[in-house]
Structure 1
Amino acid sequence: MKNMGLRDKIISKCLEIIGNDIKPESVTPLFEQPLLKEHGDLSLPCFTIAKKYRKSPNSIATELASRWTATDLATVNVIGGYLNFKYNPETLIDDTLTEILNKNKEYGASNTGEGKKVLVDYCGVNVGKPMHVGHIRSTILGNSILNILKFCGYKTYGINYLGDTGLHIGKLIYAINTWGDINKIRENPIKHFFDLYVKFHKEEMKNRTITKESELIDNDDTVLTEDIPLVKNAKEIVRKIENNDPEYIKQWQEIIELSNNYFQKLYDLLGIKFDEITGQSQYSNKGKEIALKALEMGRAKTQDGAIVYNLSKYNLPDKIILRSDGSSMYSTQDIGALITRYETHKFDKCIYVTGEEQKLYFQQIFAIIKDLGYDWADRCFHIPFGLLNLPEGKISTREGKVVFLEEVLNRAQELALNIVKEKNPELPDDIKTDVAKKVGIGAIKYMILSIAPEKNITFTWEKALNLENNSGPYIQYSYARANSILRKKSINEYRWLTKDLLDQETVTLIKDLSNFPFTVRLAEHNLNPQVIAEFVNNTCMDFNYFYDKCRVIGSEQEKSRLILVKSFCIVISNAMNLLGIDLPEKM
């Protein structure tokens, strides 16, 4: 147990007491933090163990407590079937600081994913459309999940799966050819594409009897109850692209190139890198082959000319996987892409990070893959997240109700620069600009990651650019504050006196730092970066309380407290790296 942290030592000792009747991997995940701090620092719910031995949870907890002798690690108590551990403060201090300083950038990392490969499909914006604030949630969430998995030893592969085909492309090309302005395209192509797309939608609505947004299907597989000439023309363009019509292929490729140039600027600003950027169109033919195969196998049927997969045995609605005119759709391409990905990567997990509204869709896609006989279908997961709305309602590109992501990121940096100038006017201009970028972008990222993925977010400037309290800038300021101490006084050797660190404020902070490896494991297990964001905020709150109450430089405990400050910086840096947020040394 030499290289273990205190929490792992306690768990290991507890497993020894339980014995070999229950596998360690069945018990280890049960350990948790007590809801009430006065109960202890670590807790083992004994309900699962009680079922094995056919005893009450309380009697199991009491029996384990009677056999606990490692008081140098923790004392124990039993409350309602929970075996609670209260850390020995001296052991906590020495074990935690030793582990942090020895492991440094690897503190909190694990090898739980060693030998396993995980694919993460995230971002996935539509070609020809601007990135708006609604797109950032998948981008930031997916990137953080990748960081966490990599930190836990997985071999990761991030995919940006672009919507480079579909009815929206047909609508856009029709709009360009009908109302487009070449000068505006040269000046600001994505903005003009957006305006043209909105115009198409308005013209479409003038000629429809259906007026509710929910009844219109723009890119998916539901057959419209009415198909007006405007939309028929757009569908014909899509069909011609799939049949390699040279005129439309040239236009389509130009739209893709202009879009990718625009997207890359935003990815660079966000510090996001993908292992693969690919378009849905690359998998159309593969998906069509699978659709025809499903028809031959009797798993699918034809309905009004379209191929429809029967999913009744999975208690799911049937799914159209090929249009009546033979052209592909999202489901066609996604099936083709998923099968190709497994053939290429032999992944252990494939994770899709998309909106909650696609939950049923992915249940259908995974069920189709399983029904076709691919036994790896159970390795595919959908991580859904709630909507990011505007105060006036749902974001809609068709109706022009969006806030451009580029506008948000630039505005965030401008506001952050004003604050940096006010707080630190003596900083050189280039450093001010760099700090403002880290603070502004960090504020947006933290806003996204600090909220549970399943919850909806209503975007407001006030929420996005809040630079106080539970926010990215608050974390960054706490880190810069700690670094200012370390700049004033260097640490010559990592030696401390345990007795110097026994005051309440210090022990509380060290407990926080000791919890980081467990927090990472929890984030990895649940594929949820929010627990990292919550950990960082709580730890910074306790650090700032320590900072206010415990003098560092010039105190009798200076040497020991400097080492604690250094340990705090290491842990916060590791945690914020997982969130993809940069930390300025000065602020």
Structure 2
Amino acid sequence: MKLTFANDLAHELKAKYNLDDLTVTPEICPPNFDGDLTVNCFVLAKQLKARNPIAVATEVKQFLDGHNDVVDAQVAKAFVNITLKPEALLRDTIQDEGQILAEAILPKQEQRHILIEFSAPNTNKPQHLGHVRNNTIGMATASILESAGHRVTRINLVNDRGIHICKSMIAYQRFGNNTTPEREGKKGDHLVGDFYVAYDKEYRKQLAELRKNNPDLADKSDDDLFLNTEIGRAAQDMLIAWENNDEDVRNLWTKMNQWVFDGFAETYRRMGVTFKHTYLESETYMLGKDIIQDGLERGVFKKREDGATVIDFDDPSLGSKVVLRSDGTSVYVTQDIGTTLLKQKDYNPDQQIWVVGDEQIRHFKVLFAILKALGYEWADNLTHMAYGMVNLPTGKMKSREGTVVDADDLIDEMEALAKQATLEKAGDTPPENLDERAQTIAMAALKFMLLKVNPKTTIMFDPQASIKFEGDTGPYVLYAYARIASMLRKAQDQEDETSPDWSALKDDAEKKLAIRCALYPEMLQKSARELDSSTLANYLLDLAKDFSTFYRICPVLNAEEPALKAARLHLSKCVKDILKHGLNALTINTLESM
């Protein structure tokens, strides 16, 4: 927000105190104080080398009292509340609406190439609510970064191998009767997930029998007893056969994985998720061993007495970490080292970001510390974007017991709720594009509810609450946009080309809305800088609420004077353009009518 009075004040203080740099950033004045904007002199005093904030406030008021744009300046402790002339406020905020969106883009020297990895599903089951949050955060973060001017590469890494995939394959061999997704009328990822559940059911049956027949095993964990069960050994044998390139096992693996990939593609399409490239763990899991050997020769790693290769960290909180087992096999972090180098080699980004749940915080600390110890300069530009769990009113999600909150089922439910809400709002004349509207509203509701909170926060997702057209919801913001679009279409029909009179916009609601519009570049860039979609989402909520207040108080199409009407239409169009730009940055589509 480039305000003339703020720039002039900064210039005055820099000259007076011989400073090379100083920034004055006004904020919206709190509702219980008189004024349009406020200057926080606590912040200003720090820039002026710890001068008394109240003395600074007095000094600021003295300068502003003589400024041509200022009607009034009042000191409230260490704050100066400022009332601007309407024409000055509107000149510096919304008069050039295109400039607001242009200022959202970072200067060229601050733009970077960022690689972001997200989603990372397993091919033994469909995606669930946790993946919905991951996909939503990943896509929105990538889009926000792009909207701020960065070049972004979206990457997926699919876990398509391992013991869990073999469990679904064993169950299919035993219980599948050579069925197919087409025969069952079911998405391939759902069908494979059914067999994962079937495996778990049989495994638990065998565990119960094993413990019943061997009371001395009662205290053993399920994992400890895995190879004591027949079906556990069968899955392990299949994994070994896969690693030995057994033709029959590989053919079954390829067939079932393709079913899952086809299912994932449909889920991604519904969510608007896209990737530049998808890496497969079956192609990357052997990576990293050569890097460990090189590090061992350079003294980064050492051999333990049992033959395992380890690294001892300087940071005592990380302790030590095995990077190769005593039998020479890799651990997860070894694979991640190799994959990280592969991505760096393939795309040469300035920064790599992983969108992964917060249960993996330690894993990424270890990974990044190893890469730094190996001497990679770019290792300082690696970021784990951790996020919290998603819960429903019924509790946390589970998958092996078959009680997973399936992503496709959730989207279906959201679309049904959106269709019902749309029909209730439409009354006796349902819209022709009902299904399209319901899909847009459903995804807006789902995504906005997940994005309006800081990613690190564990959240309770309530589908019924998220779909409402009132409150802090995506449909509420969509409706604000559609209302403005409808109003502007009516204004076009009236063919009035009167020029705006900015001095006529004197109502507090008008001025507050204009200031809110001007804050958009700052909010978008803050959201990109902090990797926090909630900054942008909550800004859009505030903008929609401010417009609702303005719309209720200030007639637009029926304004008293043509020049006032033109000014209010211009202000409304500015809000519309920002809402569209901001919602699109969150990967949420808009509707021209609701």
TM (normalized to structure 1)?
A: 0.87
Question: Which residue in 1 is equivalent to 2:94?
Answer: 97
Contact 1:111–1:152, Cα closer than 8 Å, also in 2: no
RMSD value, Cα: 3.3
Question: Which residue in 2 is equivalent to 1:166?
Answer: 162
CA deviations 1:430-470 (Å, max 9, x no partner) are: 52221111111111111101122222122333234334311
Larger Rg: 2
Give the Å deviation of 1:29. Answer: 9.9
Give the Å deviation of 1:179. Answer: 3.0
Deviation larger for 446-455 or 169-178: 169-178
1:495-514 aligned at under 5 Å gives the runs 495-514=499-518
**How far, CA to CA, are the matches of 1:519 and 1:539 in structure 2?**
12
**How far, CA to CA, are the matches of 2:93 and 2:546 in structure 1?**
16
Q: Given the superposition, is the C-alpha separation of residues 159 and 481 from structure 1 closer, same or farther in structure 2, using an over 3 Å criterion?
A: same
1:424-443 aligned at under 5 Å gives the runs 424=426, 430-443=432-445
Give the Å deviation of 1:562. Answer: 1.6
| Paired letter, 1:287 | G
1:314-325 aligned at under 5 Å gives the runs 315-323=317-325
| Paired letter, 2:529 | H
**How far, CA to CA, are the matches of 1:239 and 1:269 in structure 2?**
37
Deviation larger for 104-113 or 160-169: 104-113
**How far, CA to CA, are the matches of 1:232 and 1:61 in structure 2?**
75
Contact 2:10–2:23, Cα closer than 8 Å, also in 1: no
Give the Å deviation of 1:324. Answer: 5.3
**How far, CA to CA, are the matches of 1:129 and 1:10 in structure 2?**
56
**How far, CA to CA, are the matches of 1:239 and 1:44 in structure 2?**
66
Question: Which residue in 1 is equivalent to 2:529?
Answer: 525
Give the Å deviation of 1:336. Answer: 1.1
Contact 1:166–1:329, Cα closer than 8 Å, also in 2: no
Q: Given the superposition, is the C-alpha separation of residues 28 and 486 from structure 1 closer, same or farther in structure 2, using an over 3 Å criterion?
A: same
**How far, CA to CA, are the matches of 1:257 and 1:290 in structure 2?**
32
Question: Which residue in 2 is equivalent to 1:237?
Answer: 238
**How far, CA to CA, are the matches of 1:520 and 1:56 in structure 2?**
33
Q: Given the superposition, is the C-alpha separation of residues 277 and 457 from structure 1 closer, same or farther in structure 2, using an over 3 Å criterion?
A: same
Question: Which residue in 1 is equivalent to 2:584?
Answer: 577
The secondary structure found in structure 2 opposite 1:381 is: strand
Give the Å deviation of 1:506. Answer: 1.4
Contact 1:281–1:333, Cα closer than 8 Å, also in 2: no
Give the Å deviation of 1:260. Answer: 1.6
| Paired letter, 1:409 | I
Counterpart pick for 2:417 among 396, 406, 415? 415
The secondary structure found in structure 2 opposite 1:182 is: coil
Contact 1:384–1:454, Cα closer than 8 Å, also in 2: yes
Counterpart pick for 2:128 among 115, 132, 148? 132
Give the Å deviation of 1:61. Answer: 5.3
Q: Given the superposition, is the C-alpha separation of residues 516 and 244 from structure 1 closer, same or farther in structure 2, using an over 3 Å criterion?
A: same
Give the Å deviation of 1:307. Answer: 4.0
1:146-545 aligned at under 5 Å gives the runs 146-183=142-179, 185-186=181-182, 187=184, 188=186, 189-205=188-204, 206-207=206-207, 227-229=227-229, 230-298=231-299, 299-302=301-304, 306-311=308-313, 313=315, 315-323=317-325, 326-424=328-426, 430-490=432-492, 493=497, 495-545=499-549
Question: Does 2:139 match 1:143?
Answer: yes
Contact 1:307–1:324, Cα closer than 8 Å, also in 2: yes
| Paired letter, 1:335 | I
Give the Å deviation of 1:117. Answer: 0.7
**How far, CA to CA, are the matches of 1:247 and 1:494 in structure 2?**
77
Give the Å deviation of 1:316. Answer: 0.6
The secondary structure found in structure 2 opposite 1:321 is: strand
Q: Given the superposition, is the C-alpha separation of residues 155 and 506 from structure 1 closer, same or farther in structure 2, using an over 3 Å criterion?
A: same
Q: Given the superposition, is the C-alpha separation of residues 297 and 568 from structure 1 closer, same or farther in structure 2, using an over 3 Å criterion?
A: same
1:558-569 aligned at under 5 Å gives the runs 558-569=565-576
Give the Å deviation of 1:288. Answer: 2.3
CA deviations 1:505-531 (Å, max 9, x no partner) are: 211211211211111122122111111
**How far, CA to CA, are the matches of 1:578 and 1:45 in structure 2?**
33
**How far, CA to CA, are the matches of 2:47 and 2:94 in structure 1?**
38
**How far, CA to CA, are the matches of 1:399 and 1:496 in structure 2?**
64
Q: Given the superposition, is the C-alpha separation of residues 380 and 212 from structure 1 closer, same or farther in structure 2, using an over 3 Å criterion?
A: farther
| Paired letter, 1:343 | K
Q: Given the superposition, is the C-alpha separation of residues 92 and 171 from structure 1 closer, same or farther in structure 2, using an over 3 Å criterion?
A: same
Q: Given the superposition, is the C-alpha separation of residues 239 and 71 from structure 1 closer, same or farther in structure 2, using an over 3 Å criterion?
A: farther
**How far, CA to CA, are the matches of 2:67 and 2:411 in structure 1?**
52
**How far, CA to CA, are the matches of 1:318 and 1:14 in structure 2?**
51
Contact 1:134–1:387, Cα closer than 8 Å, also in 2: yes
Contact 1:519–1:532, Cα closer than 8 Å, also in 2: yes
**How far, CA to CA, are the matches of 1:538 and 1:211 in structure 2?**
57
Q: Given the superposition, is the C-alpha separation of residues 294 and 84 from structure 1 closer, same or farther in structure 2, using an over 3 Å criterion?
A: farther
Q: Given the superposition, is the C-alpha separation of residues 336 and 492 from structure 1 closer, same or farther in structure 2, using an over 3 Å criterion?
A: farther
Deviation larger for 238-247 or 129-138: 238-247
| Number of residue-to-residue matches in the alignment | 573
**How far, CA to CA, are the matches of 1:301 and 1:141 in structure 2?**
40
Deviation larger for 133-142 or 157-166: 157-166
**How far, CA to CA, are the matches of 2:73 and 2:445 in structure 1?**
41
Give the Å deviation of 1:252. Answer: 2.4
| Paired letter, 2:192 | F
Deviation larger for 176-185 or 349-358: 176-185
Contact 1:73–1:88, Cα closer than 8 Å, also in 2: yes
Give the Å deviation of 1:310. Answer: 2.9
Q: Given the superposition, is the C-alpha separation of residues 586 and 53 from structure 1 closer, same or farther in structure 2, using an over 3 Å criterion?
A: closer
Contact 2:124–2:189, Cα closer than 8 Å, also in 1: yes
Structure 1: give runs of 5+ residues left out of the alignment.
218-223
**How far, CA to CA, are the matches of 2:24 and 2:308 in structure 1?**
47
CA deviations 1:292-344 (Å, max 9, x no partner) are: 33344441445766544333545214334345555544322221111122223
CA deviations 1:234-254 (Å, max 9, x no partner) are: 344334434433333222222
TM (normalized to structure 2)?
A: 0.86
The secondary structure found in structure 2 opposite 1:489 is: helix
Give the Å deviation of 1:349. Answer: 1.4
The secondary structure found in structure 1 opposite 2:404 is: coil
